Structure 1
């Protein structure tokens, strides 16, 4: 099946593409469009359209008026000076919700202008403590789940350039410092599989990260747990992957 010529795929990126197609279709109907007509236009089942439209309504991008879907108030501010503020607020809301759902600290990282940045953190000192940045995150991408997830989204030359500027230093006994081995792992990392850090950055901490790409953003969503809770990491990573689509939608629209 395709939506206006765009193949429908599974996973968070497929959800994001379908949600954006719904938004575009509603935009073509200034007076509003009934759900059944929207489903026919997009070639999707009505229940799928309803789920996507309701998610967009929750974000403020769509509104239901007299049984028809129309653009919501959030669309009006896009492109204006407060767009970055809107995106930031939505990002922080989503991270806080994830922190509470996981019972663990949650992070949003981005690779921009050749450097890694952890741009937002939702943590609680008692119930969901954040990783202590004892070594500059920007220089230790080779050892962290966030860093490896971001480097994995770059091309071969981009990875080599980063590692040339930030040589892989040994942080713990588990840190990979051999550049060829690191490059090999990054190139073989499946895009749909969470990236893990099992005490490579800091002893006593395990982390997982999944990619979050919206527009030109090379980003990732990550979580960390004390090593004694390492048995929870896989399930936490899977939940991050499931929640990545609403986050991408909030950032991309």
Structure 2
């Protein structure tokens, strides 16, 4: 038992060292890692040396600073390739981004935040970083709102207590009453919107993705700069496009739609048709 505890502690310490690279500058001194982890300098140096030998970190030969190595990329790639939503949404997302000229993102919920599985950039929404692996708040994003549709009002309050609904801009929804109203409208029309609620100058349209059981398992969005998303002019077009994409991924995951009268199951719900009839 003592040996197991010691091994577990070693793993936890190694993971804490890797997590030190997830926020802040990409290259760190040993002292920076010590500050992030709370570990001793000798322990930190020993762990960094071991992680370097395994390609989890690498050390710059000139500056002596450490950065993440290539091994985490290999693990991340394998994990993504094994995820069913990523497999079914990847090609579709790439084609959609090229067609509408904007960013296309797919995310799942992990506890009280959304977790990006993939993103593609259209020519009107360029990025110099990837979103895969990043986490964002549920209440301040279109993707997050779609994922919250999987929960009832009581479950949402248990997951996100009032203090968790913190503002990021003046437009962030910071009360459950406002969030409930927004989600009720999103459920009715089949898509959610977000306009400068997480960051100034950004907006998106998102729709939920369902698995074979009918449960909301992921969400897909079309996003970009406020001026190019142009919801005043393009909301109907983009809503229809994102709902059709969500329906396609849902079908690929085995979703056949809600049961129809006198049948065991009907076709996908056809939210895209509803989106085409209202803004």
TM-score bracket for the superposition, by shorter chain length: 0.5 to 0.7
User: Which residue is equivalent to 2:156?
Assistant: 159
User: Which residue is equivalent to 2:114?
Assistant: 116
Q: CA-atom RMSD, angstroms?
A: 3.3
Structure 2 unaligned segments of length 5 or more: list them.
Answer: 1-79, 256-279
Shift of 1:157: 2.4
Alpha-carbon separation, structure 2, partners of 1:116 and 1:176: 16
TM-score by length of 2: 0.52
| Residue correspondences, number | 171
Distance 1:83 1:251, change over 3 A: farther
> Within the alignment, does 1:241 sit opposite 2:243 as a pair?
yes
> Within the alignment, does 1:143 sit opposite 2:145 as a pair?
no
Q: Quick check: which has more Rg, 1 or 2?
A: 2
Structure 1 unaligned segments of length 5 or more: list them.
Answer: 1-81
Contact 1:197 1:206 in 2 (8 A): yes
User: Which residue is equivalent to 2:97?
Assistant: 99
Alpha-carbon separation, structure 2, partners of 1:154 and 1:130: 32
1:161-176 counterparts in 2 under 5 A? Answer: 161-164=158-161, 167-176=164-173
- Cα deviation, 1:145-195, whole Å, max 9, x if unaligned, reads 111111122122221122128711111111121232223332443344321
TM-score by length of 1: 0.57
Shift of 1:83: 8.6
Contact 1:212 1:221 in 2 (8 A): yes
Contact 1:131 1:224 in 2 (8 A): no
Alpha-carbon separation, structure 1, partners of 2:124 and 2:241: 18
User: Which residue is equivalent to 2:209?
Assistant: 212
Alpha-carbon separation, structure 2, partners of 1:227 and 1:131: 18
User: Which residue is equivalent to 2:125?
Assistant: 128
Alpha-carbon separation, structure 1, partners of 2:174 and 2:102: 28
Alpha-carbon separation, structure 2, partners of 1:92 and 1:242: 15
Alpha-carbon separation, structure 2, partners of 1:83 and 1:132: 20
> Within the alignment, does 1:197 sit opposite 2:206 as a pair?
no
Bigger relative CO (Cα 8 Å, ≥ 6 apart)? 1
Shift of 1:142: 1.0
Please state whether the residue corresponding to 1:98 is helix, strand or coil.
helix
Bigger proportion of residues as strand: 1
